[in-house]
Structure 1
Amino acid sequence: MAITLYRNKQNQGVSVARNIGIRAASGDYLTFVDADDHLAPQFLERLLQGKKRGDMSVVGIGGAGFGKGSDPFQGLITKERFVYEFWLTKHLFGSCNNKLYSRKLILRHDIFFDPSLKIMEDMFFNMLYCQYIDTIYVSEQKLYYYRRNEASVMHQKFSENNMTVIKTFHKLLALPFTEAEQKIIELHQVNSLLWLLRLLYKADDKEATKQYEEVILQELATANTRLFFKSGWQKGFSRYVTFLLYQLHPKCYKKVITTYYKFKKRR
């Protein structure tokens, strides 16, 4: 098997690198692997088996931050069920690393990663792709092993890059999705804005990040928090409890989060 290595002269981010790979590839299918992760021997075989049965094939992810799971699901499901159930309750949707895509479909519909998004670029790519498919074959067997990178945007302390999550959702909500898909995006938007607030409140330099707090609070004021109040529990109990606290008393929410992280640092 011939392998071609493309090296950028300077680091332009993961989206640019993946887009170069999409254009340079010559095969029928595409998958993406981060440099610090690793694959089970049967990773590609299982993805190919699934792709023969559905428009997209997905396997489970293992590693730091991913639960063991007691009864892994396997089977063909609709796109709607996948986006709703598996995105809300499992770590299967957001990443592009545990999936097999049709390269022909990607090129036909001009689906590429957006270099302007520094966070959740995988999710944006997946939502674009899902517009053109109907079924997904899911095998929750953990065959992609994720290694937590503390230097990544997702795990760093608050930075300006984190704020691009707002841009991600603005772009997603402007796309012609079904009503059900729109609701999923709105649910995840509220959850992500609360995540931004938590990052902000545990930052050391409160004055430097104060300007961002107002922006996030304005976004929350216009987001569909009512929908999250009704359905957000499916994102996880602890997240929902923090959301309820925010709804009841935003200032108290800030104080609780700040106090918690101060206590955590002392331990």
Structure 2
Amino acid sequence: MDRELVSVIIPAYNVDKFLGECVRSLLCQTYTNYEIIIIDDGSTDNTYVIGESLTFESTKVKVFRQENQGVSVARNVGMQKAKGEFYVFVDADDIVAPRYIETLVFCAQKSDMGIIGFTSERKELATEVNLNNVYVNASDVIENILCGSNYDGYLWNKIFQKRIIENNNLKFLKNIVVLEDLLFVLQYLKNCSTIAVSNEKLYYYRNREGSAVNNNRLDKYLSKYKVMEEIKKQNFTCTEQSKKKTSFLYFETMFSYLNQILIRENKTNELAEILPNVDIVELLKLKNIKLFLKFLYLKIKGKLYKI
């Protein structure tokens, strides 16, 4: 059972209050053949110092430091450093149960990807995500993710095969602060056939102030727009329902981003570049009056700023 080496990749930025507890929960695993790779992304607190101290607690822990380049680059570097046949991605402020790796590996040995349940203290996520012990087609998981059903686009409750990642040259999109995990998961699933799902909730997601999902910076809106643009471009969808959902999310994130530019920057450059390319026919097909009104508002607002 413990033959395959698992690489646990942890991007870390200013998490000195959480990193120790996170890593120590990983050091209590029932599965024994794994390494923990911490990529300090130019932290300004004691994150790197704590990471180094953890290497003295276990030879499984390795810590590397880079200039601040964002979580996507940190994860890409982590994959370059990894020696395992399987990759697991853990957020530095979260904790895991002792059977976390064991259960994921058990799933991965029987499929192209393993998925487990999780618990969360974030209000916008379900307190508990319940999954059935099943084998499902990757295409069905993609549809479910895009339609907001049983499955999700998070990294940390999944296990990935190095072979699939390297054969398809999969990487995290740079300069993206949110939803970078969703795009990576969809790209990975596109190259899978069968997915194994366990209903055990072995990952605990914590809501930390200051994390990317909790800030309201403009780059967060831009990241969402870029990711949805990429998802639309790569055409992951199969059914009419998921195509419609993807189109809706694409327009919604686009208009939210442009609206934030007007509110914060009073600039019309982005509007002049993006709005003329909006597919009006596709927008009207959604039959969503609120979305169309947002579009009209931005068109009118943009013209007013030019006067």
Per the normalisation by structure 1, the TM-score is 0.72
Higher strand share: 2
Q: Does 1:106 align with 2:150?
A: no
Q: Residue type matched to 2:182 in 1?
A: M
Q: How does 1:17-166 map to 2 (within 5 A)?
A: 17-63=74-120, 64=122, 65-68=124-127, 72-90=131-149, 92-166=151-225
Greater RCO (Cα-Cα under 8 Å, separation 6 or more):
1
Amino acid at match of 1:52: Q
Indicate how the Cα distance of structure 1 residues 217 and 157 shifts in structure 2: closer, same or farther if over 3 A, else same.
Answer: farther
Q: CA deviation at 1:225?
A: 3.9
**Gaps in structure 2 of 5+ consecutive residues:** 1-33, 35-58, 299-307
Match of residue 250 from structure 1? 294
State the 1:91 CA deviation. Answer: 7.0
Give the conservation status (yes or no) of the 8 Å contact 1:118–1:161.
Answer: yes
CA distance in 1, matches of 2:74, 2:216: 25
Matched, 1:194 2:252: yes
Residue 206 of structure 1 is matched in structure 2 by 263
Q: Tell me the SS of whatever aligns to 1:8.
A: strand
Structure 1 CA distance, aligned partners of 2:92 and 2:228?
A: 27
Counterpart in the other structure of 1:239: none
Task: Return the alpha-carbon distance in structure 2 between the equivalents of residues 144 and 124 of structure 1.
Answer: 21
Tell me: CA distance 1:150–1:132, structure 2 relative to 1, closer, same or farther (3 Å). same
Q: Which deviations, in whole Å up to 9, do the C-alpha atoms of 1:4-44 show, x marking residues without a partner?
A: 42322422111111111112111111010011111122211
Deviations 1:196-249 (A, max 9, x none): 645776x698252554566675566459446655xxxxxxxxxxxxx54334x4
Give the distance between the partners of 2:129 and 2:182, measured in 1 at CA.
26
Match for residue 7 of structure 1 among 51, 61, 64: 64
- Structure 1: stretches of 5+ with no match in the other structure: 230-242, 255-267
Q: Please, what TM-score do these two structures have when normalized by structure 2?
A: 0.64
Q: CA deviation at 1:75?
A: 0.6
Greater helix share, 1 or 2?
1
Question: 1:93 and 1:27 mapped to 2: Cα distance?
Answer: 24
Q: Describe how 1:204-243 pairs up with structure 2 within 5 A.
A: 206=263, 208=265, 211=268, 221=279, 224-225=282-283, 228-229=286-287, 243=288
Give 1:258's aligned residue. Answer: none
- Size of the alignment, in residue pairs? 238
Name which one, 1 or 2, has greater alpha-carbon Rg: 2
Shift of 1:132: 1.6
Residue 227 (structure 2) aligns with: 168
